[in-house]
Structure 1
Amino acid sequence: MTTASIHIVASPESWIEQAAIDQLHQTAALPGIDAVVGLPDLHAGRGIAVGAAFWSRGLVYPHLVGSDIGCGMGLWRTAMKLRKFRPDTAVRKLHGLEEAWEGDASARLAEAGLPPLPVETLGTIGGGNHFAELLRFEDVFDADLFAELNLDAQMVQLMVHSGSRGLGQAILDRHRTRHSVGALSADTPDCAAYLAEHDDAVRWAELNRAVIADRFLDRLGTEGERLLDICHNGVTPHRGGWLHRKGAAPADKGLVVIPGSRGDMTYLVRPRSGDRADAALHSLAHGAGRKWSRSEARDKLARRFRIADLERTALGSRVICEDRELIFEEAPQAYKDIHQVVHDLERHGLVDLIATLRPLVTYKTRRA
Structure 2
Amino acid sequence: MTKASIRIIASDLSRVDPLALDQLARAAEFEGLARIVGLPDLHAGRGIAVGAAYWSPDMLFPHLVGSDIGCGMALWETDQPVRRFRLDAAARKLRGLDEPWDGDAGAALSKAKIDPALGGAALGTIGGGNHFAEFQRVERIVDIDRFEAFGFRPDAVWLMVHSGSRGLGQAILDDWTRSRGTAPAEASGEAGAAYLAAHDRAVGWAVLNREIIARRFCEKLGLAAVRRLDICHNSVTPYEGGWLHRKGAAPADRGLVVIPGSRGDFSYLVEPVVGQAAGALCSLAHGAGRKWGRNDAHGRLSKRFRPSDLERTALGGRVICEDRRLIFEEAPQAYKDIGGVVGDLEAAGLIRVIASLRPLLSYKTRRS
Specify if TM > 0.5. yes
Runs (5+) with no aligned partner, structure 1: none
| 2:260 aligned residue | 259
| 2:88 aligned residue | 88
Amino acid at match of 1:250: P
Distance 1:14 1:335, change over 3 A: farther
User: Structure 2-normalised TM-score?
Assistant: 0.99
* Aligned residues of 1:14 and 1:340 also touching (Cα < 8 A): no
> Cα deviations across residues 120-173 of structure 1 (Å, max 9, x unaligned)?
100000000000000000111100110111111111000000000000000000
**Partners of 1:359 and 1:327 in 2: how far apart?**
16
**Partners of 1:271 and 1:168 in 2: how far apart?**
28
| 2:292 aligned residue | 292
Distance 1:102 1:14, change over 3 A: farther
SS across alignment from 1:120: helix
Q: Shift in Å at residue 13 of structure 1?
A: 7.5
> Cα deviations across residues 329-356 of structure 1 (Å, max 9, x unaligned)?
0000000000000000000000011000
Question: Which segment is superposed worse, 75-84 or 357-366?
Answer: 75-84
1:108 and 2:108 correspond: yes
**Partners of 1:244 and 1:14 in 2: how far apart?**
26
| 1:38 aligned residue | 38
Matches within 5 A, 1:277-356: 277-356=277-356
**Partners of 2:233 and 2:68 in 1: how far apart?**
10
Q: Shift in Å at residue 80 of structure 1?
A: 1.2
| 1:172 aligned residue | 173
1:161 and 2:156 correspond: no
Percent identity over the alignment is 62
> Cα deviations across residues 68-100 of structure 1 (Å, max 9, x unaligned)?
000000000001111111100010000000110
| 1:204 aligned residue | 205
Amino acid at match of 2:229: L
**Partners of 1:320 and 1:263 in 2: how far apart?**
13
User: Structure 1-normalised TM-score?
Assistant: 0.99
Aligned-residue Cα RMSD (Å) equals: 0.8
1:192 and 2:187 correspond: no
Runs (5+) with no aligned partner, structure 2: none
| 2:249 aligned residue | 248
* Aligned residues of 1:14 and 1:341 also touching (Cα < 8 A): no
* Aligned residues of 1:3 and 1:29 also touching (Cα < 8 A): yes
> Cα deviations across residues 265-303 of structure 1 (Å, max 9, x unaligned)?
0000000122x4111000000000000000010010011
Q: Shift in Å at residue 306 of structure 1?
A: 1.1
* Aligned residues of 1:67 and 1:171 also touching (Cα < 8 A): yes
Amino acid at match of 1:222: L
1:130 and 2:131 correspond: yes
**Partners of 2:75 and 2:356 in 1: how far apart?**
13
Question: Which segment is superposed worse, 13-22 or 304-313?
Answer: 13-22
> Cα deviations across residues 92-128 of structure 1 (Å, max 9, x unaligned)?
0000001100001111111111122110100000000
| 2:365 aligned residue | 365
Matches within 5 A, 1:41-80: 41-80=41-80
Amino acid at match of 1:259: P
1:119 and 2:124 correspond: no
Q: Once superposed, which parts of structure 1, at least 4 consecutive aligned residues long, lie more than 2 Å away? A: none
**Partners of 1:317 and 1:182 in 2: how far apart?**
45
Q: Shift in Å at residue 28 of structure 1?
A: 0.8
Q: Shift in Å at residue 14 of structure 1?
A: 7.1
**Partners of 1:317 and 1:281 in 2: how far apart?**
35
SS across alignment from 2:120: coil
SS across alignment from 1:33: coil
**Partners of 2:336 and 2:14 in 1: how far apart?**
9
**Partners of 1:221 and 1:342 in 2: how far apart?**
34
Amino acid at match of 1:331: A
1:222 and 2:188 correspond: no
Amino acid at match of 1:120: A
